[in-house]
Amino acid sequence: MFLRRPDPRKERDALEAERLRIERRRLSEEARREDARASEEEARARDESARTDREKRRRRSVEQWKTRAKTAGHMAVMSVTNIGVNGVAVSGQAMAFMARGLPPLWAILAAAIVESVAVYVSWHAHVALREGDAAWTTRMLSYLVGAGAGYLSYTHVEDYPELFAACSLASPWLWSMHSRHLHRKDLREKGLIDPRAPKFSPMRWLLHLPETFKAFRWAVGEGVQSPSIAVQVVRQRRRVKKTWKSMVEAQRAVIEAQRSQLQLTLTRMAALAEEIHGPDPRAAEAVHDIAVFVNEVGVGLVPRYRPPLGPAVEADQTPPVPADQPDQKQVGETAPRPRFRTRIRDRYRLPIRTKRRARRRAVGPVAAGDHSDQTLPADAPGPGRHDRTNRTSKRPAGTGSTGPADRVNALLPQGKRIAARLRREGVRLTRRSLQDALRAEGHSASTDVANELVRVLSGPGKPVQRAARGGRTTGPSTGPDVAAEQPLVRTMQTATTGDAE
């Protein structure tokens, strides 16, 4: 016996074929399981869909039966009421016809026809109303037919004629009420009906009638049903209105303040220009044009603050001291010391004041008449802010209350002419003399206006009238030491009037 030697290639092919057979069997089993799983899922989905459809049909059926029951209930109520009223009216007419010898069948038929005419006309009105046509004429015609049927019932029926006449008359009105209800329902579904007005309590109407009426009016106009929202809107509008009113008042106040500053500045500039450059033939016309411009620019709303128009002089000139004034203290003289001094003042302020006095004495006193011709050295300090050695009052010269600047501006040419005439006649220029002269020429001036004119026309160093709180006094406006500072004071006051205000 001979044994074959094993062939590796054949063995390998056999193993590969077995492996492929096993793999094919496994894949077929997996495919079968997938098909079974898909079939189960499909069956489950069909069952779920059928169950859902049955549930939907059941719910739809329930909703339909609910709607039908609701409609049937409404129809039953309407039928019991309306058909019952029609039945009573028909029975009355039928009894009247049978009492007159008609057979019962013909009597009932005739009575039904008489009572159904009004219902038929009312039905046509209902159809026209649901279709959006005019139905008022048809509705009124149905009421008229019902009134005729009621009259027949009242005259034909012998027992209880009022009852049968009322039923005949109410029949078309009851049918039209149901028709109006359906028509309003259609309009509400289409969004063609305004929402109802808000309901406020009687106590609120009684205690807050204006606010409640405004809230009710706004809510009706805007279609808002909430009473609280309507009240909040009305209150917010009231607050906004008050805020706008306060803003307008503040704006008017600012405009008036600017107008007053502009008017005061232009008036001072006109007076200063006339005093410096002399009278001009066109000065009166220019002043008038300035006044007209100021009045056109601003509006009068708030009280005006107008500082005094002191005597206008050039910056490089010093006003002379009149001979009738008493001698004033010289520059080198010192003011009386205060009775009590603090330690800080003894330590710091006294040495500074001593140095200033020494510097002034080194320069020497300056005569009042030669003040305009002499100049101080460059290193000589002028009167300081805290210097008390050469100061008679804390207020600058001519700082009194002023009258209306436009009136002073208008009377300035007449005042200059009167001042020149009084000076030629040797009469002193005072407030009373100026008022008398203006009155003689047909003009009038108040006390404040006259005082302001006297200040402007008197010039530096001349006695003028000054108004005080306790009364009126007349005296010189400045002394020699203040007159020396007058050009600087007037120049700075004119330049910084608008900023100071």
In this predicted structure, what is the pLDDT of residue 237? 94
Structural domain ending residue among the three candidates 165, 190, 215: 190
Q: 162 and 256 in one domain?
A: no
344: pLDDT confidence band, cut at 50, 70 and 90? low
Which two structure tokens, joined as six digits, stand for 37?
């799983």
Q: 246 and 185 in one domain?
A: no
The CA distance from 197 to 194, in Å, is: 9
Phi, psi angles (nearest 5°) of residue 202: -60, -35
On the question of pLDDT at 240 being above 80, the answer is: yes
Q: 95 and 175 in one domain?
A: yes
Q: 252 and 112 in one domain?
A: no
In this predicted structure, what is the pLDDT of residue 89? 86
In this predicted structure, what is the pLDDT of residue 295? 58
Maximum Cα–Cα distance across the chain: 184
User: Total domain count for the chain?
Assistant: 2
Asked if residue 205 belongs to a domain, the reply is no
Asked if residue 366 belongs to a domain, the reply is no
On the question of pLDDT at 276 being above 80, the answer is: no
**Residue keyed to tokens 């189960």:** 40
Q: 143 and 34 in one domain?
A: yes
Q: 143 and 268 in one domain?
A: no
The CA distance from 34 to 28, in Å, is: 10
Q: 457 and 316 in one domain?
A: yes
Asked if residue 93 belongs to a domain, the reply is yes
Asked if residue 121 belongs to a domain, the reply is yes
What DSSP state is assigned to residue 82?
I
User: What average pLDDT does range 300-307 have in this prediction?
Assistant: 39
Identify the residue with better confidence: 436 or 462. 436
**Alpha-carbon dihedral sign for residues 409, 411, 414, 415:** negative
246: pLDDT confidence band, cut at 50, 70 and 90? very high
Q: 259 and 174 in one domain?
A: no
Q: 155 and 249 in one domain?
A: no
294: pLDDT confidence band, cut at 50, 70 and 90? low
The CA distance from 466 to 463, in Å, is: 9
- Structural domain for 59, as ranges: 29-190
User: What average pLDDT does range 317-322 have in this prediction?
Assistant: 49
Count CA atoms closer than 13 A to 6's CA, side-chain side: 5
Phi, psi angles (nearest 5°) of residue 297: -75, -50
Task: Tell me the one-letter amino acid at 62.
Answer: V
Average pLDDT, the chain: 73
Identify the residue with better confidence: 357 or 451. 451
Among residues 406, 410, 403, the alpha carbon closest in space to that of 443 is found at 410
Contact between residue 171 and residue 89 where contact means Cβ atoms under 8 Å apart: yes
Asked if residue 111 belongs to a domain, the reply is yes
Structural domain ending residue among the three candidates 190, 214, 242: 190
228: pLDDT confidence band, cut at 50, 70 and 90? very high
Any bridge partners for residue 473, and if so which?
466
Asked if residue 86 belongs to a domain, the reply is yes
Asked if residue 230 belongs to a domain, the reply is yes
Which two structure tokens, joined as six digits, stand for 146?
């019902």
In this predicted structure, what is the pLDDT of residue 261? 85
**For residue 233, what are the contacts with CB-CB under 8 A and spacing of at least 6?**
215, 218
H or E element that contains 63: helix 8-78
Q: 414 and 322 in one domain?
A: yes
- State CA 178 to chain mean position distance: 50
Q: 47 and 138 in one domain?
A: yes
User: What average pLDDT does range 414-435 have in this prediction?
Assistant: 86
The CA distance from 115 to 172, in Å, is: 10
Structural domain ending residue among the three candidates 139, 171, 190: 190
Provide Rg for the chain, Cα atoms.
Answer: 57
Q: 153 and 246 in one domain?
A: no
How crowded is residue 194: how many other Cβ atoms within 10 Å of its Cβ? 8
On the question of pLDDT at 321 being above 80, the answer is: no
Asked if residue 37 belongs to a domain, the reply is yes
CA-based angle 341:343:349, to the nearest 5?
Answer: 75
The CA distance from 47 to 40, in Å, is: 10
Which two structure tokens, joined as six digits, stand for 439?
């009155």
What percent of the chain has pLDDT above 90? 18
